Amino acid sequence: MLEIRNLTVTYGLHKALQGVSLTAEKGEVVVILGANGAGKSSLLRAIAGISEGDVAGDVTLAGASLRSLGADRIVEQGIAFVPEGRGIFGDLSVWENLMLGAYPERARARRKQNLERVVSLFPKLAQRRGQTVRTMSGGEQQMVAIGRAIMSNPDILMLDEPSLGLSPLLCRDLFENLSKIRETGIGVLLVEQNAKQSLAMADRGYLIENGRITGEGQADALLSDPAVQKAYLGGV
């Protein structure tokens, strides 16, 4: 289980996150909802070890502390991160991106199984294996990014606004795929602005506002909560 307790991130004088606590288990999808600038990205970047700010608080995975580890060590512990902008190697091929995904020690022995997982999720990547990633469409690059993350054999997969810039049809595919990833036993922690679609497939959700958690609950309960509907679902 990924457990975050009392996490605070500050950039100079600006507090981006204040005392945030949350958990995510293997095999569940947890969505964090919030407006632009609410601190969603700061949260994931702090967990992944690439925060530019000062981070205080506890981050543990299965009881082991991740705080003060570098990004490369955090991947070894079992957390894969797909940042906004995707964090892929644009000048390298699809195949090279996937092989780099399997770079961590923990992923090497299971490279074949993970590759099968990726190819069954995204058959297109097998056909396009030689293509340079930056020449692909946004939706295809998203597949490479998620595929690359799965190749590192994670316990928890974190995604920063994966639906950004995707067409409604591709969004639907994306959330379907995240649901399939959950079935393989990986925990998925994602931040989203697309509240309706993400809550529809998530197990649990958190609401974040001005750097603080302002609400949490089962996804279906959040979907029918009038306050959530007003703030995130366009007041249906």
Partner 1 sequence: MDILISGLLLGGTYALIAMGLTLQYGVARIMNLANGEVLVIGALTAFLVYTSLAVSPLVTVLVIAPLAFAASWLVYRILLLPLVRRAKNQGQLEVDSILATFGMGFFLVGGMVFIYPELFAYSYLAVPVDLAGTTVAANRLVAFGGAVLIGLALYLWLNRTRAGLAVRAVAVSPLAAGLVGINVEKTSALAFAIGGMITAMGGVLISTFITLDPSFGVIFTMKALIIVIMGGVGDIRGAIVAALILGVVETAVATLIDPGLTLAAAYTIFLLVLLFRPEGLFGRRPA
Q: Name the residues that contact partner 1, by CB under 8 A.
A: 48-50, 52, 70-72, 75-76, 80-81, 83, 87-92, 96, 99-101, 103-105, 107, 148, 152
Question: Which CB, 140 or 225, lies closer to partner 1?
Answer: 140
Q: Which of 67, 74, 57 is nearest to 157 (CA)?
A: 74
Element (H, E) at 93: none
The span from the CA of 178 to the CA of 188, in Å, is 7
What's the CA dihedral at 26, 32, 38, 40 to 10 degrees?
Answer: 30
Q: Which of 6, 90, 9, 1 is nearest to 44 (CA)?
A: 9
The CA angle 234-235-236, to the nearest 5 degrees, is 100
The CA angle 6-12-18, to the nearest 5 degrees, is 20
Question: Which CB, 75 or 202, lies closer to partner 1?
Answer: 75
In single-letter form, the type of residue at position 37 comes to G
Shortest distance in whole angstroms from residue 86 CB to partner 1:
8
Question: Which CB, 34 or 101, lies closer to partner 1?
Answer: 101
Shortest distance in whole angstroms from residue 120 CB to partner 1:
21
Shortest distance in whole angstroms from residue 88 CB to partner 1:
6
- Per DSSP, helices labelled H in 34-191 are 40-48, 71-77, 94-101, 105-108, 111-121, 123-127, 138-151, 168-183
Question: Which CB, 23 or 132, lies closer to partner 1?
Answer: 132
Shortest distance in whole angstroms from residue 218 CB to partner 1:
31
Give residue 201's Cα distance to chain centre: 14
Question: Which CB, 76 or 216, lies closer to partner 1?
Answer: 76
Shortest distance in whole angstroms from residue 128 CB to partner 1:
18
Shortest distance in whole angstroms from residue 69 CB to partner 1:
11
Shortest distance in whole angstroms from residue 2 CB to partner 1:
16
Question: Which CB, 9 or 107, lies closer to partner 1?
Answer: 107
Q: Are strands 212-218 and 64-65 parallel, antiparallel or unpaired?
A: unpaired
Question: Which CB, 37 or 70, lies closer to partner 1?
Answer: 70
In single-letter form, the type of residue at position 179 comes to S
